[in-house]
Amino acid sequence: MLLRKTIGILLVSVLFVACDDIIEEEDLSNRQVTVLAPLEESVVNQNQVSLNWNTVEDARSYKVELATPNFENAAQIVIDSLVEQDTLGTIRTQVQTTLLNGNYEWRVKGLNGGFETPFTVNSFTVNGDENIDLVAPNTPIPQTPADGTIQDETGIVFTWLREDIAGTAERDSIYIYTDQALQNLERKGLGANKNFEVTLASNTYYWLVQAFDAAGNESADSAVFELTIN
């Protein structure tokens, strides 16, 4: 009988603790995110645009979306992002991006675990540098040595393919690692005419290429090729 009472007390205690741990989220559905900039029908005279809004009390994240020319007739969804708390519990109330000249519409709403505000929507126009280059170079395609090559020669000519894009000058960087996790960088170099010559010691290497342009755009990493020199 004493054992049953003890178990009962423990179960009640656990239930009370569990109830204390439940977080009741505040209802945000009647609140509104206040936008700071860009405001409705504003004109931004530069291509670097900062989307800014005020904090909503009890919001744990913000949904930010940007479309051109607007959401009803969207030719492109430029941004679709969730801004969440960092490790310190801070949430940014700003998203920065670089945009081509044209018309845009953006919207933001606050969320927590159970509720969300309605979207606050504003349209704006970007009227900056009409010749700005926002197009990233094409991703390089490694060619030789072929993936998995095993050879005795220590003098290597790495080659790859990449179609240039009209605009600002483009260049290729090659990265040669000695581990598959790509943590130990053995050599980095600039490729000339889609190739790079180097002498390497006996080892197994993993290499990839990435392209950059003078406007600051960069391609995705190429595929990683493995090379073993006996």
Nearest to 201 by CA among 172, 180, 227: 227
Within-domain flag for 148 = yes
Q: Residue 167 has what pLDDT?
A: 76
Centre a 10 Å sphere on the Cβ of residue 59 and count the other Cβ atoms it contains.
22
- The identity of residue 230, as a single letter, is N
* Together in a domain, 56 and 85: yes
Residue 169: give its domain's CATH number. Answer: 2.60.40.10
Provide the residue range defining the domain that includes 184: 141-229
* Together in a domain, 79 and 113: yes
Q: Residue 1 has what pLDDT?
A: 53
> Partners of 52 in the beta sheet?
37, 94
Centre a 10 Å sphere on the Cβ of residue 70 and count the other Cβ atoms it contains.
14
Within-domain flag for 50 = yes
* Together in a domain, 122 and 149: no
Question: Where among 75, 100, 126 does a domain terminate?
Answer: 126
Q: Residue 16 has what pLDDT?
A: 47
* Together in a domain, 119 and 42: yes
pLDDT in tens, 51-61: 999 999 999 99
Within-domain flag for 136 = no
Within-domain flag for 110 = yes
Number of domain units in the chain: 2
* Together in a domain, 100 and 152: no
Within-domain flag for 145 = yes
Within-domain flag for 6 = no
Nearest to 169 by CA among 212, 208, 201, 107: 212
Mean pLDDT of the chain: 90
* Together in a domain, 50 and 119: yes
* Together in a domain, 113 and 166: no
Residue 160 near residue 172 (C-beta atoms within 8 A): yes
Question: Where among 126, 155, 171 does a domain terminate?
Answer: 126
What span, in angstroms and rounded, lies between the C-alpha atoms of 206 and 184?
A: 10
Non-local (6+) Cβ contacts of 188 within 8 A are: 173, 174, 175, 176
Tell me the average confidence (pLDDT) per consecutive run of 10 residues in the chain, 230 residues long: 50 48 78 96 96 95 97 95 90 95 97 94 95 91 98 97 90 97 97 95 98 92 98
What span, in angstroms and rounded, lies between the C-alpha atoms of 204 and 181?
A: 13
Q: Residue 36 has what pLDDT?
A: 97
Centre a 10 Å sphere on the Cβ of residue 10 and count the other Cβ atoms it contains.
10
- Residue 10, by phi and psi: left (phi above 0), alpha (psi -120 to 50) or beta? alpha
* Together in a domain, 120 and 42: yes
What span, in angstroms and rounded, lies between the C-alpha atoms of 147 and 206?
A: 9
Nearest to 101 by CA among 49, 165, 66: 49
* Together in a domain, 51 and 111: yes
Within-domain flag for 204 = yes
